[in-house]
């Protein structure tokens, strides 16, 4: 079998303002017809009542829980289980006093709510802000992008740990439920 050399290719015309234009290159090439954007590229938003269904359901569940805690007083023994950490070790967990705090919030006694569990009251306010942002995003048809940076999560964890430690020290009596 004989080896054949590859065919010679024509050299490309030099680029720039001094380039020579051949007769074949001077003809304008036809442009392809404009194609409309594919259907998937145009965002189809579901109706407003469907976008608000999940935030409304979450609000209904939270409102139901707060209504129950508001109706059944956690200060009366026997209605709710005792915190196992408090029962077996005598230490207050970060959630101790949370039900009493929620009961006070439902009855409009914010000072008692903060005294029972200040961190829980901050959590209630944080939930209200996050839920409001969620509803605004749903109304606008945008997804809620709630991805907190790791530094924020570590800071919240450190705050929770400090709150737990300080409320169990002798000088942390103001944080006892």
Residue 17's alpha-carbon distances to 6, 23, 32, 44, 107, in angstroms, are 32, 17, 26, 47, 82
Total domains in the fold of the chain: 1
24 in any annotated domain? no
Position 76 in a domain:
yes
Is 156 a domain residue?
no
- Which residues lie closer than 8 Å to 56 by C-beta, 6 or more apart? none
- Domain boundaries, position 57: 48-141
Residue 111, domain member (yes or no): yes
| DSSP one-letter code for 169 | S
Q: Which residues lie below 8 Å from residue 34, measured CB to CB, with a gap of 6+?
A: none
Two tokens, residue 93: 């967990």
53-81 pLDDT, tens digit per residue, is 999 999 999 999 999 999 999 988 888 88
Q: Does residue 151 fall inside a structural domain? A: no
Does residue 148 lie in a domain region? no
Phi-psi region of 141 (alpha: psi -120 to 50; beta: other; left: phi over 0): left
pTM of the model: 0.67
Average pLDDT over residues 149-163: 94
């Amino acid at each position: 079998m004989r080896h054949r050399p590859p065919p010679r290719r024509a050299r490309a015309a030099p680029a720039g303002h001094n380039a020579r234009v051949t007769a074949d290159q001077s003809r304008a090439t036809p442009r392809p017809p404009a194609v409309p954007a594919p259907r998937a590229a145009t965002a189809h938003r579901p109706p407003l009542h469907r976008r608000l269904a999940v935030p409304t359901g979450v609000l209904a569940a939270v409102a139901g829980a707060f209504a129950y805690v508001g109706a059944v007083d956690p200060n009366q023994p026997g209605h709710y289980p005792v915190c196992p950490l408090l029962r077996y070790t005598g230490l207050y967990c970060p959630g101790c006093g949370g039900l009493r705090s929620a009961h006070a919030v439902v009855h409009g006694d914010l000072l008692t709510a903060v005294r029972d569990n200040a961190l829980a009251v901050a959590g209630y306010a944080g939930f209200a802000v996050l839920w409001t942002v969620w509803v605004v995003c749903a109304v606008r048809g945008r997804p809620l992008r709630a991805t907190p940076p790791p530094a924020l999560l570590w800071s919240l964890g450190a705050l929770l740990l400090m709150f737990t430690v300080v409320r169990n020290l002798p000088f942390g009596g103001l944080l006892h439920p």
